[in-house]
Amino acid sequence: MKIKDAKKYVADKLGIAVSELTDAAVMSDVREDLKIGSVYSTMGSPKGIEAKFNIAKLLDIEINSLNRFKR
Amino acid sequence: MSKIITRMGDGFSVEMDEQELMQDIEDGVIDAAERAEIPVLSDDEQKHLLEICKSTCTISGVEKGYEVIMTYDGGSNKIGRLGINTGRLQVLQTYERCFGADTTELSDLDYSFKQAKHIVRENVPLMEQAQLLMVAPVFYGSMPNLGLYTQPDGPVLNPAELLPQGKIKEAREAYAEAIEHSVRDMVYVSSALYEAGADGINFDTVGASGDPDFKATLLAVQELKKKYPAMCVEIGMAGEFILGMHGEVTHNDVRLAGLYPHEQVKVAQEAGVDIFGPAINTDPTESIPWNIARAVTFTKACVEAAKIPIHANLGMGVGGLPLCYTPPIDAVSMASKAHLEITRLDGL
């Protein structure tokens, strides 16, 4: 997928505007609300593979490592 | 006319007036267009490039909306090069959490598939652990490096020794044998790392040993995509032009020697490559505006020819950046801005 289409796909799935994808203020809240991992490793927040599972579900994509983890 | 401080391709500063700078941009554009038989940049694009190259800022940035994805080659080797003693898992986390990297790459210090084959069992558990730790995609990366298969480093007769003796047939046979060894190693290592959870495989510095090196990579990619259709494969080239070390190697009836980026990408995407990285060489004797103009012209034609995402190589000595160990940030960010705003590529 070329970048323009990819940005729109992700923004639509996250329920935000394309321009907000690179807005750190907006994305901090989005990341926290959707449990997809954040830069700060806060207590109880999803990290690593846990965040990746949430991303795969949210974006409706297959992730190689998750498929292998499930096996 | 006031002077503009810019740089030469070796990184050192040079003063030019606006007319000289514009002349360098025009010359760089024409050099690329004539070599690859591609369109020149439009007048508006060249004027936009002039505005970018006139910048007196320490760091240039793109307009909002032009942000792209970053991929890396040799990612987990580079912190060690700074003399910082850390493990590769910590390096991957540093890329993700400190540098804001969109993707990361696990790799070995000896960055060649032939060498990686011997230590694949060390890398597999590391990739598995990395996938538990990381949120950003983790690629595995290495180079085809066909030269390592020739004597004295490898089993095959050395074409570089055969060719000066006029043994052209023998040299070509040696390349054919090296390709077989190389494909086998690339498929073996890539399969193991993909089975360990890698999000993709990065074949870096492709074509460093000329057309047989590119051929070996294309064959390996085809085999891997047949085996793992969902595997993400990125290839980054060694230079702007495929050297004809063999001269008659073809892939799907396309002669590989002499291909420029806009032609390389067509062959690559047909083989199953998902992300293509053109590498445009820097001429240290020309100015940075000349080099950026040239790199942008080549890369724009490549983007227009591509159906897959293009991640141009912008590093020391490629993509219009100075040929030096620590490319100055003004030149790095200027070249990045020019590529993003003019070529509309997908990543760096």
Looking at this predicted complex, what is its ipTM? 0.95
B63-to-A45, B67, B288, B327, B340 alpha-carbon distances in Å: 33, 8, 21, 23, 9
Q: Give the confidence band of A57 by pLDDT, cuts at 50, 70, 90.
A: very high
**Does residue A44 carry a pLDDT above 80?**
yes
- Are B105 and B146 in contact by the 8 Å Cβ rule? The answer is no
Q: Does B261 sit behind a cis peptide bond, omega within 30 degrees of 0 on the bond before it?
A: no
Name chain B contacts of A68, Cβ cutoff 8 Å.
Answer: 195-197
**Does residue A41 carry a pLDDT above 90?**
no
Judged by a CB distance cut-off of 8 A, whether residue B72 touches chain A is no
Q: How many residues are recorded in chain B?
A: 348
DSSP E strand stretches across chain B: 3-7, 13-17, 104-112, 138-143, 200-206, 232-237, 250-251, 254-255, 275-277
Helix (H) or strand (E) holding B312: none
Q: Which residues contact B45 (CB under 8 A, 6 or more apart)?
A: B296, B300, B342
What pLDDT does residue A23 have? Answer: 94
Q: In this complex, do B197 and A69 lie within 8 Å of one another by their Cβ atoms?
A: yes
Structural domain total, chain A:
1
What pLDDT does residue A32 have? Answer: 93
Please state, in angstroms and rounded to a whole number, the distance separating the CA atoms of residues B58 and B144.
37
A21, A36, A49 ranked by CB distance to B131: nearest: A49
In the chain, the amino acid numbered B182 is S
Please state, in angstroms and rounded to a whole number, the distance separating the CA atoms of residues B211 and B280.
17
Q: Are strands B275-277 and B232-237 parallel, antiparallel or unpaired?
A: parallel
What pLDDT does residue B210 have? Answer: 97
Name chain A contacts of B67, Cβ cutoff 8 Å.
Answer: 21-22
What pLDDT does residue B151 have? Answer: 97
| A 22-61 residues inside an 8 A Cβ radius of B | 22, 36-37, 39, 47-49, 51-52, 55
- Are B105 and B139 in contact by the 8 Å Cβ rule? The answer is yes
- Mutation target vs A (from B127, B131, B140, B344; most A CBs, 10 A cutoff): B131
* Residue boundaries of the structural domains of chain B: 3-343
Could you tell me the maximum CA-CA distance found in chain A, to the nearest angstrom? 38
Provide the shortest C-alpha distance from residue A15 to chain B (in Å).
17
Q: In this complex, do A19 and B67 lie within 8 Å of one another by their Cβ atoms?
A: no
Q: Exposed, middle or buried, B269 (CB in 10 Å: 0-12/13-18/19+)? A: middle
CATH architecture of the domain covering B3-343 = Alpha-Beta Barrel (3.20)
Cβ atoms within 10 A of the Cβ of B62, count? 16
**Does residue A71 carry a pLDDT above 90?**
no
A18, A55, A65 ranked by CB distance to B131: nearest: A65
Q: Are strands B232-237 and B200-206 parallel, antiparallel or unpaired?
A: parallel
B107-to-A54, B118, B154, B197, B240 alpha-carbon distances in Å: 27, 14, 22, 14, 24
Please state, in angstroms and rounded to a whole number, the distance separating the CA atoms of residues A31 and A9.
16
B2-to-B6, B22, B197, B330 alpha-carbon distances in Å: 13, 14, 56, 20
CA count, 13 A, side-chain hemisphere, B52: 29
What is the CA angle B12-B13-B15, rounded to 5?
A: 145
Nearest CA in chain B to A63: B199
Domain hosting A24: range is 3-70
- Mutation target vs A (from B135, B227, B302; most A CBs, 10 A cutoff): B135
Q: In this complex, do B134 and A18 lie within 8 Å of one another by their Cβ atoms?
A: no
Q: Give the confidence band of A69 by pLDDT, cuts at 50, 70, 90.
A: very high
Q: What is the mean pLDDT of each run of 10 residues along chain B (348 residues)?
A: 91 96 98 98 98 95 93 88 91 93 95 96 97 97 97 96 96 98 98 98 97 98 98 98 97 98 98 98 98 98 98 96 94 97 96
